[in-house]
Amino acid sequence: MSENAEITGAISSSDDIKTAEKFKEEANEYFKKQDYNRAIELYTKAIEVDPTVAVYYGNRSFAYLKTECFGYALTDASKAIELDRNYVKGYYRRAAAYMSLGKFKLALKDYETVTKARPNDKDAKTKFTECNKMVKKLAFEKAISVEENKKNIADTINLDDMAIEDEYTGPKLENDKVTLEFMTDLLSWYKKQNKLHRKYAYKILLDIKAWFMAQPSLVDISIPDKSKFTICGDIHGQYYDLLNVFKLNGLPSETNPYLFNGDFVDRGSFSVECIFTLFGFKLLYPNHFFMSRGNHESATMNQMYGFDGEVKAKYTAQMAELFTEVYNWLPLAHCLNSKVLVMHGGLFSRDDVTLSEIREIDRNRQPPEEGLMCELLWSDPQPQPGRAPSKRGVGVQFGPDVTHNFLSLNGLDYIVRSHEVKNEGYEVAHDGKCITVFSAPNYCDTMGNRGAFITLNGKDMEPNFTSYEAVPHPNVRPMAYANSLLKFMC
């Protein structure tokens, strides 16, 4: 009996082998068409017929990576390696999954295995070198961050030292304040691919940090009976699609309030434009424009998926650090009319979590790998009851019973979350009690999904959905500023 057969406890028949291969080939075709979910279904069928083949798990792992199911990708890659220790792509896939989860030391170990197996493989050597740099960089940053009285970057910024050059013709703050004229000028200035002056950019960041620092981790919002309120999901640096939301639904104002539910940046290569637009509207309408933290408002995600590189390319490394300080103060959730809870990710690994407990979370930090703050940013719903380990490798998956129990305990009607691509830009699950909204259409220029936003009014709080297609953008590809190890993700 072969080693592979011993692992699975059975030898596959020749008919099974042919059937499984057919499923694999069909899955490969869907993968090429970027229909990753269908590819995953077919790789799964191949595995069900013949669970002894490492390649099936390796291919499904790659498809899971493409759909951001990093936990599943990691499990499949490990299974492929278990079946065939010499299957080099298995180590590649597992390293990519570890990288996506910010587990750089474990990724480095797998890349080292690949370079030993393929000493002449330039790609493997490059990935090993890049990953090694990342491990050393993080170790250095950790060493210097233990200084007890480390100064905030915000305290080191001197706006008086920043002169406005005569040739600058872009938007200008009036008496150091954001105005409607400034915002309308900024929208058109950015649309033409121009850059906001660094003095104004820094001023916006300093002011927004001060505002967010005064907010609780859970913000209560009151919506009058006859007033409209809009909830948007992930934007992910897709500035021209953000402009389209405003075209379809109107600019933010005191009579047209918005909540943007995290993941404003990364992947899309106009993240700087997105974040300053949103921060500008927050300063202009502080009580009618709201922003929740997403899992991509974190230093590790920004270093991997492009925002950190984009800020350094368009401004400075100092500004990139200042963004990290600002993101640490973003609220984690919003409660609308004491009826609807909105968070980026989802619910929790335990049943007794209350709104008051969320309100008291100490959020001024990088997202931890477990606990309430982590789960608010990372969790996902599942159709089956109960809980399961996250497909992402972080947070938890929660079923309809978990949602119903949470709503009952806290006197809520339903929850709104984002965090996941949906074909129509939204999905209603858990008997209408768990709604997903995702506002980045044709995500990463590859997924072909629509975007959506939710509108409701204070009287009945009934969600209404507007779904829309992607609009053209300048020829700058997604992930243009991302870490080279993750360029495969788009």
Q: How many CA atoms lie less than 13 Å away from 156 in the CB half-sphere?
A: 9
Integer Rg of the chain from CA = 23
What number of CA atoms fall less than 13 Å from residue 452's CA on the CB side?
Answer: 26
Cα end-to-end span (Å), the chain: 41
8 Å CB contact between 34 and 447: yes
Q: Which residue has the tokens 């979370």?
A: 361
Going from the C-alpha of 228 to that of each of 155, 178, 224, 413, 456, the distances in angstroms are 39, 24, 8, 18, 6
- Residue 296 appears among annotated catalytic residues: yes
Query: Of the residues 197, 288, 296, 419, which is catalytic?
Result: 296
CA-nearest of 320, 325, 326 to 307 is 320
Alpha-carbon distance of 110 to 97, in angstroms, equals 11
Active site residues: 296
